[in-house]
Amino acid sequence: MGQKRTSTLTAVAAHAALIPLALLTLVPFVWLVIASLKNTDDFFSSMFLPLTGEMITLSIGQLSISLPEVAWDRLTLANYSRLFFELGIGRALLNSIFLSSTTALLATLCSAAGGYALARLRFTGRKVITTAVLAALIIPPPLLLAPTYQLLYELGLLNTFTGLILPAIAPAFGVFLFRQATIQSVPKDLIEAARIDGCSEIGIFFSIVLPLVRPMVGAFMLITFLATWNNFVWPQVVLQSSDKFPLSVAVSQLKGVYRQDYGLLMAGTVVSVLPPAMLFMLLQKEFISGLTAGAVKG
């Protein structure tokens, strides 16, 4: 009995610590969404929802509480309509969707095929490539920023989507992950059996290997999608014309021009954050498993 009571007490203590921290984590999100729906005056005069200045009294049975009245009718979608109809943020949204999904798809396909080939196929150059991939894991991307810019300039790929997508579709990290995944979950015997049955090597990859490493396919695609969506430096360096900007660059430019227009900036942030957040909520399990796979299984 005594044991049980202390454990209930410590459970209460744990929640007493966790609930305020959870609220602290969520408050900026709530503030962001409400701020995006306010006009400039209300932005300055109210912390969260705009108030009428009147008090309303709620009576629940004997209990009555006085609360400041919320001016719901002052909340407005004006910031959003300005973003889409005057500032053309829809274009940036489409650019982000296109860049992120294309990069995610191609990078996953390239990495899965490369990782499988390095793990299970024999060919000349395999050892060299494997070593190069492992070595490339420690290269900090900023080191390649200047030479890649120069290379894209020479190839005539500056200010093109190709120049942004192409360097991102062969990530050493992805090949490394898929090589590990293949070693862990694609039995050699199965591949041998398929070969004896007359299945082509490409057929084996698509119909046997890909389904077996499916958890990694899902996780890596999602990780790449989010990373591309949130990427700022590369599009900032590679792209020049504003009709090509993804949301990351477009919003940071808005911030430069409309510095004091807080509601507008918050609306731009909401538009930028909502699509990947929804995608994540849908595919949450795959993401967490992919995130921790490398760390826990080693």
Partner 1 sequence: MSAGRPQGRSLAPYALAGPFVIVFIIFVVVPLARAGVLALQQTYGPQAAEFVLFGNFAQLARDPLFWRAIANTLVFTAASVFIQLPLALGLAMLLNRPGLRGRGIYRLIFFSPQLMGMVFVATLASIVFEKRSGLLNQALHWAFGVSLDFPWLQTYVMPTLIITTLWMYVGFNMVYFLAALQNVDKSLLEAASIDGAGPWAKFRHVTLPAIRPVGSFVVLLSIIGSLQLFELPYVMLNATAGPANRGLTIVMYLYQSGFEVGDLGYASAIGWVLALMLVGFAIVQARLARTEV
Of 53-61, 77-85, 130-138, 213-221, the window that binds partner 1 (rule: CB under 8 A) is 130-138
Question: Cα separation of 110 and 168, whole Å?
Answer: 10
Q: How would DSSP label each residue in 44-64?
A: HH-SSS-EEEEEEEEEETTEE
Nearest approach in angstroms of CB 201 to partner 1 is: 3
Asked if 268 interacts with partner 1 (CB under 8 A), we say yes
SS (H, E, C) 76-119: CCHHHHHHHHHCCHHHHHHHHHHHHHHHHHHHHHHHHHHHHHHH
Taking CB under 8 A as the criterion, the residue among 27, 67, 190, 282 binding partner 1 is 27
Asked if 295 interacts with partner 1 (CB under 8 A), we say yes
Question: Cα separation of 259 and 224, whole Å?
Answer: 31
Which residue's CB is nearer to partner 1, number 41 or number 243? 41
Give the binding-site size for partner 1 (rule: CB under 8 A). 95
Nearest approach in angstroms of CB 167 to partner 1 is: 4
Taking CB under 8 A as the criterion, the residue among 54, 66, 198, 241 binding partner 1 is 198
Residue numbers 136-175 binding partner 1 by CB under 8 A: 136, 138-151, 153-154, 166-167, 169-170, 172, 175
Asked if 205 interacts with partner 1 (CB under 8 A), we say yes
Residue numbers 69-128 binding partner 1 by CB under 8 A: 109-111, 113-114, 116-118, 121-123, 125-126
Nearest approach in angstroms of CB 209 to partner 1 is: 9
Nearest approach in angstroms of CB 50 to partner 1 is: 13
Query: Packing angle between helix 126-136 and helix 172-185, nearest 10 degrees?
Result: 120
Query: Packing angle between helix 214-230 and helix 284-297, nearest 10 degrees?
Result: 100
Question: By three-state DSSP, how is residue 298 classified?
Answer: coil
Binding-site string for partner 1 from residue 6 to residue 25, where x marks contact by CB under 8 A and - marks none: -x--xx--xx-xx--xx--x
Residue numbers 247-266 binding partner 1 by CB under 8 A: 248, 251-252, 255-256, 259, 262, 265-266
Type and span of the H or E element at 67: strand 63-70
Asked if 132 interacts with partner 1 (CB under 8 A), we say yes
Nearest approach in angstroms of CB 62 to partner 1 is: 30
Nearest approach in angstroms of CB 65 to partner 1 is: 19
Q: What is the DSSP letter of 124?
A: T
Of 43-51, 59-67, 68-76, 211-219, the window that binds partner 1 (rule: CB under 8 A) is 43-51
Q: Are 176 and 137 in contact (CB under 8 A)?
A: yes
Q: What is the DSSP letter of 170?
A: S
- Alpha-carbon dihedral sign for residues 200, 205, 209, 210: negative
Which residue's CB is nearer to partner 1, number 63 or number 233? 233
- Residue 17 half-sphere exposure, CB side, CA atoms within 13 Å? 5
Q: Are 100 and 228 in contact (CB under 8 A)?
A: yes
Taking CB under 8 A as the criterion, the residue among 9, 26, 193, 282 binding partner 1 is 26
